[in-house]
């Protein structure tokens, strides 16, 4: 039964109820209809199931959402409410990634999308759960509109690789931004020594020009001094629960959003989104209380509440004069499934985020 049919039936029963003296059977009928079909109404009203969403407004005016999935999942919408599936970015797992990352078979994580110099640049993560032998790849397209004759994703290969027992950072969760001076930066990382920042070539938006530098971390359990932790190569810092960076520029500040605690555990997920800001994209980033994010700081923004077990892995954009926050939330109404979370962000006179809508 469709929603419209159900509503029409309830309406007719209600009208009959107003003219009938025997209301008990009628009310029972309405209750039975809601019991039988109410769950489908709830499902229709739920946000789409998604992990690690990023957004872009395409040439056709539609919103395109890229997220974790086989070959990078894609959905599109005209209004950010009703979504339809599109073909994935990667038709098959890139050979270079299969050869580079043991265990990677095409399930591709945490993409990022960025438009620059006439091309859409999509960055994606190739990894396996709980290991830092990972790689970030790069694909380009002239348009996001699948109906365009020039629509074609072209994989450009590897950006950066992390190696187990060698690198104390993890090459996943990329986010790319072009700074005020035209320099291109990619922030990425998860757990181990926290969130990294590296400069990329402005020519190809891909070649690293610097060694990665840690711009946000949490103190790892069992490591008493952060300086010692940072200097010790190859240490497994699995308790440094921070990941999913995103940098957003506004009014002379760079805002760094990251996720604390644990994703991907359904009802046991504890994801929280925190943020800080800096005048310099290279940091240091400070939270609202003046704590540096590279020594554990971060102002709380979203997290577990009465509807969600956790909210994190965010992206932030200016759409139609509104600053929009997107993330995934582990939804209590559907037993912890990850669903799209949206909020409009508002800022106070000092540039700090206040209650969103």
Mean pLDDT of the chain: 86
Q: Which residue has tokens 């103190």? A: 219
Q: What is the pLDDT of residue 221?
A: 44
> Which member of 52, 155, 294, 331 is catalytic?
52
Q: Note whether 192 and 240 are within 8 A (CB).
A: yes
Q: What is the pLDDT of residue 223?
A: 45
Q: Which residue has tokens 């190859």? A: 234
Q: What is the pLDDT of residues 82-107, one digit of tens each?
A: 999 999 999 999 999 999 999 999 99
Helices (H), the chain: 3-19, 23-45, 95-100, 226-231
In sequence order, what are the beta bridge partners of 76?
A: 64, 84
> Which member of 243, 261, 287, 294 is catalytic?
243
User: Exposed, middle or buried by CB within 10 Å (0-12, 13-18, 19+), for 6?
Assistant: middle
Q: What is the pLDDT of residues 257-312, one digit of tens each?
A: 999 998 999 899 989 999 999 999 999 999 999 999 998 999 999 999 999 999 99
CA separation for the pair 117, 10 (Å, rounded):
55
Closest CA to 198 of 189, 186, 180: 186
Number of neighbouring beta carbons within 10 Å of residue 9? 15
What SS3 state is found at 306? coil
Upstream peptide bond of 33 is cis (omega within 30 degrees of 0): no
Mark whether 52 is an active-site residue.
Answer: yes
Mean pLDDT of 239-246: 91
The region of weakest confidence among 22-36, 140-154, 166-180, 220-234 is: 220-234
Confidence label for 46 from pLDDT (cuts 50, 70 and 90)? confident
* Residue 35 in this model has a pLDDT that exceeds 80: no
Mark whether 346 is an active-site residue.
Answer: no
DSSP string, 282-305: T---B-TTS-BGGGT--EEEE---
Q: What is the pLDDT of residue 240?
A: 86
Domain ranges across the chain: 1-45, 50-354
* Residue 119 in this model has a pLDDT that exceeds 80: yes
Mean pLDDT of 190-204: 94
Is 50-354 a domain of CATH 3.20.20.70?
no
Q: What is the pLDDT of residue 218?
A: 87
Q: What is the pLDDT of residue 4?
A: 43
Q: What is the pLDDT of residue 301?
A: 96
């Amino acid at each position: 039964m469709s929603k419209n049919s159900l509503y029409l039936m309830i309406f007719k029963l209600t009208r009959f109820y107003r003219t009938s003296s025997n209301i008990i059977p009628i009310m029972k009928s309405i209750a039975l209809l809601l019991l039988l079909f109410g769950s489908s109404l709830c499902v229709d009203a739920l946000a789409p199931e998604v992990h690690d969403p990023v957004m872009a407004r395409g040439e056709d005016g539609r919103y395109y959402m890229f997220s974790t999935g086989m070959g990078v999942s894609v959905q599109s919408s005209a209004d950010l409410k009703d979504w339809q599936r599109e073909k994935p970015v990667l038709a098959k797992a890139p050979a270079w990634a299969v050869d580079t990352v043991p265990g990677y078979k095409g399930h591709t994580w945490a993409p990022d999308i960025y438009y620059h110099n006439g091309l859409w640049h999509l960055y994606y993560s190739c990894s396996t759960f709980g290991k830092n032998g990972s790689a970030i790849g790069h694909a380009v397209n002239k348009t996001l509109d699948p109906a365009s004759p020039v629509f074609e994703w072209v994989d450009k290969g590897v950006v950066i690789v992390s190696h187990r027992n060698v690198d104390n950072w993890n090459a996943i969760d990329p986010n790319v931004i072009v700074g005020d001076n035209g320099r291109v930066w990619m922030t990425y990382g998860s757990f181990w020594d926290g969130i990294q920042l590296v400069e990329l070539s402005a020519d190809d938006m891909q070649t690293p020009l610097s060694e990665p530098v840690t711009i946000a971390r949490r103190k790892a359990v069992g490591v008493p001094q952060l300086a010692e932790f940072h200097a010790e190569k190859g240490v497994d810092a699995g308790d440094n629960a921070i990941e999913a960076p995103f940098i957003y520029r506004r009014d002379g500040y760079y805002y760094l959003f990251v996720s604390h605690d644990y994703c991907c555990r359904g009802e046991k997920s504890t994801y929280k989104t925190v943020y800080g800001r800096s005048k310099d994209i290279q940091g240091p980033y400070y939270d609202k209380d003046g704590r540096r994010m590279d020594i554990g700081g971060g102002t709380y923004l979203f997290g577990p509440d009465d509807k969600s077990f956790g909210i994190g892995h965010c992206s932030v954009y200016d759409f139609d004069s509104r600053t929009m926050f997107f993330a995934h939330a582990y939804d209590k109404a559907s037993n912890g499934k990850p669903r799209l979370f949206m909020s409009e962000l508002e800022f106070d006179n000092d540039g700090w985020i206040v209650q969103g809508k």
